[in-house]
């Protein structure tokens, strides 16, 4: 039996014409992606929701950039996703995109998981 249940992201219909649903680890993973890819101020009724990691995309690629992204992502996930504990945030960058890897533990099960979020450099 599922502990957490929610609507799948991206939004779509299921076979029964109801919104597609996800549960547990998939729901938490999708929530983390939404937090990281939503810029602060983007949601009108929740202006503090999200993360400003995308604002660092055009900065110099150095250790400071990695630390700024790590801090921003960790703070946002800790604030908005209480079902997960962030263990590490890693960044890698090439000419076309920045990849943010979030390694986290699901609080309820203690299971470690990770999600990669690729962000194009030309936003």
Q: What is the pLDDT along the chain (123 residues), one digit of tens a residue?
A: 556 666 666 656 666 666 776 667 888 999 999 999 999 999 999 999 999 888 877 777 777 888 888 999 999 999 999 999 999 999 887 777 788 999 999 998 899 999 999 877 654
Note the pTM of the prediction, 2 decimals: 0.81
Domains and CATH numbers, the chain: 5-11+19-120 (3.10.450.40)
Q: Which bin fits 17, alpha (ψ -120 to 50), beta or left (φ > 0)? A: left
The secondary structure of 12-75 as a DSSP string is -B-TTSSBPEEEHHHHHHHHHHHHHHSPTT-STT-TT-S--GGGGTTS--SHHHHHHHHHHHHH
């Amino acid at each position: 039996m599922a502990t957490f249940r929610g609507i799948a992201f991206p939004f779509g219909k299921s076979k029964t014409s109801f919104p597609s649903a996800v549960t547990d680890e998939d729901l938490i993973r999708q929530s983390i992606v939404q937090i990281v890819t939503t810029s602060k101020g983007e949601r009108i009724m929740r202006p503090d929701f999200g993360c400003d990691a995308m604002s660092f995309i055009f900065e110099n690629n150095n250790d400071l950039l990695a630390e700024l992204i790590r801090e921003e992502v960790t703070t946002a996930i800790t604030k908005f996703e209480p079902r997960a504990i962030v263990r590490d945030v890693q960044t890698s960058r090439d000419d076309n995109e920045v990849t943010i890897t979030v390694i986290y533990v699901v609080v309820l099960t203690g299971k470690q998981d990770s999600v990669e979020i690729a962000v194009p450099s030309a936003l």
